[in-house]
């Protein structure tokens, strides 16, 4: 591995072949759009640098724009309404989004924690996943921004998850 913050060409080639064998055409298009954004290998970056990298959500938005399609979340997953709110975290309020599917409730509640390994990303990056889950599962989805490492040491994010879980039961 080099320290130049560039992906390894051999690993990239193998990954691309494996991905092509497993992915459908839409996923391949997203992967190509993401590659065109020239992200650096996040494992070679500081957490702060990694957080500034383009995301797969950026690639989807770019691809939709190239196809002259709307990238507005409500157009992509119609029938899901959102409400911005805060929930109690372990040490204070946490920003959250509540996704509610169309239809007559009551709905079950899914507590959703965005990806990023407890270090990068946020609930906006994973809006599409939470929104799609609400529509497909016909469930309310509570997506919570937890405190990120390394600024907040383990088990801060897990403590926030537990606090949010306790709040999710009140919806």
Per-residue pLDDT tens digits for 18-41: 666 666 888 888 889 999 999 999
Mean pLDDT of 97-110: 95
Residues in the chain: 171
Q: How sure is the predictor about 1, in pLDDT bands with cuts at 50, 70 and 90? A: very low
Per-residue pLDDT tens digits for 115-138: 999 999 999 999 999 999 999 999
- How many whole angstroms separate alpha carbon 63 and alpha carbon 54? 13
Q: How sure is the predictor about 168, in pLDDT bands with cuts at 50, 70 and 90? A: confident
Helices and strands in the chain, H and E counts: 7, 4
**Starting at the edge strand that comes first in sequence, how are the strands of the sheet with 93-101 ordered?**
80-88, 93-101, 140-144, 109-113
């Amino acid at each position: 591995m080099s320290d130049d913050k560039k992906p390894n060409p051999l690993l990239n080639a193998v990954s691309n072949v494996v991905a092509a064998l497993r992915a459908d055409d839409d996923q391949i298009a997203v992967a190509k759009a993401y590659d065109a954004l020239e992200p650096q290998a996040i494992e070679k970056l500081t957490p702060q640098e990694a957080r500034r990298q383009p995301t797969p959500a950026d690639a989807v938005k770019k691809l939709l724009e190239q196809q002259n399609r709307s990238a507005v979340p409500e157009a992509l997953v119609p029938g899901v309404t959102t409400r911005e709110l805060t929930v109690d975290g372990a040490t204070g309020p946490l920003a959250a989004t509540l996704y509610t599917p169309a239809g007559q409730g009551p709905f079950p509640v899914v507590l959703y924690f965005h990806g990023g390994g407890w270090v990068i990303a946020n609930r906006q990056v994973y809006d599409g996943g939470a929104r799609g889950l609400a529509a497909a599962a016909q469930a309310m989805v509570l997506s919570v921004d937890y405190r990120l490492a390394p600024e907040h040491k383990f088990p801060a994010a897990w403590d926030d998850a537990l606090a949010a879980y306790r709040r999710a039961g009140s919806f």
